[in-house]
Each structure stands twice: as C-alpha cells, then as structure tokens.
Chain A
Amino acid sequence: MSEFLISITPIDWLLDPLTHDFMRRALMVSALVGGVCGLLSCYMTLKGWALMGDAVSHAVMPGVVVAYALGLPFSLGAFVFGVGSVALIGFVKQKSRIKEDTVIGLVFTGFFALGLVLVSKIKSNIDLMQILFGSPLGISRSDVNQTLIISFIVISILLIFRKDLMLYCFDAKHARSIGINTGILHYLLLTLLSLSAVVGLQTVGIILVVAMLITPGATAYLLTDRFDQMTLLAVISSSFSSILGVYISYWSDIETGGSIVLVQTLIFLIAFLFAPRYGIFKNQTFINNN
C-alpha cells in the first residue's frame, strides 16, 4: 500500500477515486453535510450550545433504529427523537430543581441507551457500526436524496433567518424589544440542530456528529471578528475537512468519520496556535497594525 502511495501522482490521488460511483457520491454528500453543519456550528458556538448539540445528536439514536425497523426514512425517526429530546430537556428543567447541564446529560444518555437496547432487540439488518460511526462510502441513493432535501431546508432557513438568529445569539433581549418572536427563533434553532445532526450522522456517525456541529465554528471564531466571515470560514473549513477526510479514508483504508473529524481537529489546532489575532503565537505586528 505504501509503495503504491508513493508511486501515484497528486493528480491521480485526486482523480482516481472519482472514477468510482460510490466515491463521487460520498464526496458530494460529505462536502454538503460539512457545509450544512459548518454553517450551523457558528450559531452553536456563539450561543454556547455545544452540549445541546451533543445531546441532540445522541438522542436521535432510537429514532434511527425505530425508523429502520418500520421501513420509514431514517431521517424522520431521527428528527422526531431529536426534537423530542429537546422538548424533554426543557420540560424536566422547568419541572424540577436540577440544573440544565445535568438535565441535558441525563436525557441524552437515556435516549442513547434506549437506542442501543433497541438495536440489540429489534432483529433487522441495521448495522450498529454504521449508525454509530457513519459510512459515507456506503451511502445509498435514497439516503442521498434525504440528505439533499434536509440540507436544502436547513440552508434555506439559515439564509433567510441569518440575521435574526445572529441577533438572537448576540442579544435576545434586544430582539424581543423590537418585536421579534425569540421563542420561535429558539425552537427554530433547535429544529435546525436536530436536522443537521440527522445529516451529520450520515458521514461521521452519531458519536462524532457533535464535532461537525462545533469544531468548524470554533475554528472560524478564532480567525475573524466578522460574523459573515465566520460563517464563510466555517463552511469552507468544514467542507474541506470532509472532502479531505474522505480521500484520506479511501487511500489509507481508515475509518471515514474519524478521518473527517481528525482533519477538522487538526485545522482547529492550526488556528488555535497560529490565528493572526487570537492564536497562541499571535502575530504581534498584525495586532498593532489593526
């Protein structure tokens, strides 16, 4: 394998996978999912919803299993359980004296455990590993269609309500005082989170999908002081990581979800160390000149 790697040119490295139908599909879906999750990750990191992202992405597990068992689109089941977990978190928090982070941890582990139990109990052709770790290389045509539709919905809503959601994250009180319904924005953002978790688990699986929902945003946040630039950088870094991750996975025969998230983490690390203004080794002249 390694001799083979050395012998190929970079052009071959890029083009050879494209000769396969499944790879073209995997690359397209991964780039799209990366973009969708990257866009949403800006709102997650700015709103401080990383834990919520973790919760929702784990809580969709039983939904996926039930949907497969019933022959429904898996995204439908995932969405129902994603939104359901959010509602349950809100309910338990309101009706008890338990603090929010505890409630979040409690609810999502409960849902996740339910998912695991269901997988072992419901006899079907569900591949547990595929749900947990994703498999963009083995994605089916119907799954591609679901991903396309959901991505289109999420991107459209995020583009339409871009500024309202930004304002909601920055200063919800002001949003309310000018007559914007912040309650609707709150649930809209949670719904988008559930939908993004659903598409995200296609490529990196349930366990790592939270990385897709926070890492690109965190990376971009270190690189800019402009919201629009932040969203752009997050989308670019996220899509790029997804594509590169799939390539590396193809050539080195390593697990795809792990490969994508590892690339994302490396990009974050580079930003963390070398971001012009906010990195560890920040550029003093850059700061002085600005």
Chain B
Amino acid sequence: MNPIFKSHEKDFMRIEADQVCVDYNGTVALYDASLNLKAGSICGLVGMNGAGKSTFFKALMGFVRPSRGKIRINGINVNQAQKEQSVAYVPQNEGIDYSFPVSVWDVVMMGRYGAMNIFRIPRESDRRAVVHALERVDLLDLRERPIGSLSGGQRKRAFLARAIAQRASVLLLDEPFSGVDVPTEKLMAELFLQFRQEGHTILISTHDLNHVRDFCDFVVLINKTVLAYGETSEVFTSENLNKTFGGIPPNPLSGPTSSKDFINE
C-alpha cells in the first residue's frame, strides 16, 4: 500500500486498484496499474489520448474485466459497488445524444433509477434528492427545459447533478472542464471541494494540467501503466510530465496557455 496513506478507521480506501491489466484481443491497453484512494480525496488522472485513461475508467466501472489484478470500491468488487450505487460516472459531453426528448429533471432523475424498484417510479425521497442536486449545480430554474436546449456548461452541470442525485461515494469524471464556461468551471471547482469535505472520492480524467494543479490532492500520471502517483506537489514535476507525454517538454508549470497549447497541438 502506498505510504502516503495512514490507515485509521475513518479513512478507508474508496478505490483500490491492484496491479490491474486490461487487454483487448491481445493488445495491452493497461498493465500493472495500481492506485489507492481514500475517502475525501480528489485525484487527477493525467495522460495522453490512448494512454489508457478511459480504459482505467472502464475497468473501475466494471465495463471491462481486467485480465489480471483486482479492483475494489469501498472494499467490495465493482459490480456489487454498482448495485449499491457507490460509483457515479459523469460522461464527456460528446457521448450524449442531446436531441433526445428528455428534460433536465428527467436526466437528473436517472441518477435515482438504481435506488428505485423495477418500475422506476420516483418516491418523495427521490424527488427531494433531484431537487437538492439541481440546487447544488444551480439548475433548478431550468429543470423543465429539454436537455438539448442547455449550453455546454449547463449540460455538464446537469450530468453532475445526476451523479449527485445518485449519492455515490465515488465520482468518476471524464474531462469535466472541456468546453465549459467560466461560471460553470468555478461552480464545479467549488462543488468538488465540498464533495471532498463530505467524504466523496473524485477521480478526474483530464488533459488540463492547470486544473490538476489547482485542486487535485493526488495525481496519477499514466501511459499504459501508472508512471507516477502520489501527492500533486510531489508528482507534478517537469520530469514526470515529460515521461507522461513522451519526452515532449510540456512546461506545465508556466501558466494556462502554454500547457493548453501543448495539449491541443
């Protein structure tokens, strides 16, 4: 187990990945990836496209079965954790059909489905959870609007609200800051810090090194395997980032524009 975590009764491990390997038809996508995240932490998952970030996410959500290694969420296996509504996934905007005929309210209510009976009839407690989640992302006024009529940032907040409504202890966010406006970015950053305080564990897959620096307690640098992992201040060195991005000097610590330019090139 990683030395940065001291075990005492309250901070048990939310996410434990132990030497996880994933391969698709013989092609190795991820090998020997280990990670331990305690309750109440924010971790950035940083790597290039194709470095295995989404594979790692898929493994954590049980979408792909590791060919080797073990993953535990809150001490139980991933499928059980899903059934207990412990893991919430906030997708990238691009993966969703925004012309689908559902309202913001409907989308957030989907976060409650797992806790409902087979007919998925909302109870009063489900409605309260949805209202509460919408309030936290500041979308309550827009709850009747079709999801497609929202701006990029509002859409992101709607899906974040769905994860909040699910009341999961582990949040997996895929590129949460891509294509969002400044108010949404601020709101999300504040929310993440609140989640941490409430004991949630957040894993953020991102390209954006500045966000990682700003509020991730931990960072995982990944390129087919975990290259470096630990507290952000220790791991986030130019040397480690060079390794992550294949020797191209990203110069991540010199300000927002340079690192974004690097990522987008």
Q: Which residues of A contact B (CB under 8 A)?
A: 46, 160, 162-164, 166-167, 169-171, 173-180, 221, 224-227, 229-230
Contact of A179 with B114 in the complex, beta carbons under 8 Å: yes
Contact of B119 with A178 in the complex, beta carbons under 8 Å: no
Select the stretch in B38-46, B86-94, B181-189, B249-257 that faces chain A: B86-94
List the B side residues contacting A174 at CB < 8 Å: 89, 91, 110, 162
List the A side residues contacting B102 at CB < 8 Å: 166, 170, 225-227
Query: Of A170, A177, A224, which one neighbours B89 at CB under 8 angstroms?
Result: A177
- Interface size of B by CB at 8 A reads 31
List the A side residues contacting B61 at CB < 8 Å: 173, 176-177
Contact of A179 with B82 in the complex, beta carbons under 8 Å: yes
In the complex, what distance in Å separates the CA atom of A166 from the CA atom of B114? Answer: 14
| Residue B201 is within 8 A (CB to CB) of chain A in the complex | no
List the B side residues contacting A164 at CB < 8 Å: 113, 120
Q: Which residues of B contact A (CB under 8 A)?
A: 61-63, 79, 82-83, 85, 87-89, 91, 95-97, 100-103, 106, 110-111, 113-114, 118-120, 146, 148-149, 162, 166
List the A side residues contacting B162 at CB < 8 Å: 174
Q: Given A166-B102, A173-B61, A174-B162, 13 other A-B contacts at CB below 8 A?
A: A46-B97, A163-B119, A167-B113, A170-B110, A173-B89, A173-B95, A174-B110, A177-B88, A178-B82, A178-B166, A179-B114, A180-B114, A226-B101
Contact of A225 with B63 in the complex, beta carbons under 8 Å: no
Contact of A178 with B114 in the complex, beta carbons under 8 Å: yes
**Leading 8 A-B pairs by shortest Cβ distance:** A178-B114, A225-B146, A163-B120, A179-B82, A179-B83, A177-B89, A225-B101, A227-B101
Residue pairs across A and B with Cβ atoms less than 8 A apart, 21 shown, are A46-B100, A162-B120, A163-B119, A164-B113, A166-B102, A167-B113, A169-B100, A170-B102, A171-B91, A173-B63, A173-B89, A174-B110, A178-B82, A178-B85, A178-B166, A225-B101, A225-B103, A225-B146, A225-B149, A226-B103, A229-B101
Contact of B113 with A178 in the complex, beta carbons under 8 Å: yes
In the complex, what distance in Å separates the CA atom of A46 from the CA atom of B98? Answer: 11
Q: Smallest Cβ distance from A168 to chain B, in angstroms?
A: 11
CB within 8 Å: A-B pair count = 73
Contact of B85 with A179 in the complex, beta carbons under 8 Å: yes
Highest count of chain B CB atoms <10 Å: which of A160, A173, A179: A179
Q: Smallest Cβ distance from A159 to chain B, in angstroms?
A: 9
List the B side residues contacting A230 at CB < 8 Å: 101
In the complex, what distance in Å separates the CA atom of A45 from the CA atom of B55? Answer: 30
In the complex, what distance in Å separates the CA atom of A173 from the CA atom of B63? Answer: 9
Contact of A167 with B146 in the complex, beta carbons under 8 Å: no
List the B side residues contacting A225 at CB < 8 Å: 101-103, 146, 148-149
List the B side residues contacting A160 at CB < 8 Å: 118-119
Q: Smallest Cβ distance from A288 to chain B, in angstroms?
A: 13
Query: Of A162, A171, A224, which one neighbours B110 at CB under 8 angstroms?
Result: A171
Contact of B113 with A176 in the complex, beta carbons under 8 Å: no
Q: Smallest Cβ distance from B253 to chain A, in angstroms?
A: 34
Q: Smallest Cβ distance from A92 to chain B, in angstroms?
A: 17
Contact of A170 with B97 in the complex, beta carbons under 8 Å: yes
List the A side residues contacting B88 at CB < 8 Å: 177
List the A side residues contacting B106 at CB < 8 Å: 227
Q: Smallest Cβ distance from A276 to chain B, in angstroms?
A: 13
Given contact pairs A167-B110, A173-B89, A173-B95, A179 touches B79 in the complex (Cβ within 8 A):
yes
Q: Smallest Cβ distance from A47 to chain B, in angstroms?
A: 9
In the complex, what distance in Å separates the CA atom of A174 from the CA atom of B61? Answer: 10
Residue on A nearest B121 in the bound complex, by CB:
A163
Residue on A nearest B114 in the bound complex, by CB:
A178
Residue on B nearest A47 in the bound complex, by CB:
B97
Residue on B nearest A229 in the bound complex, by CB:
B101
Given contact pairs A178-B166, A179-B82, A163 touches B113 in the complex (Cβ within 8 A):
yes
In the complex, what distance in Å separates the CA atom of A171 from the CA atom of B102? Answer: 12
Query: Of B91, B114, B120, which one neighbours A173 at CB under 8 angstroms?
Result: B91
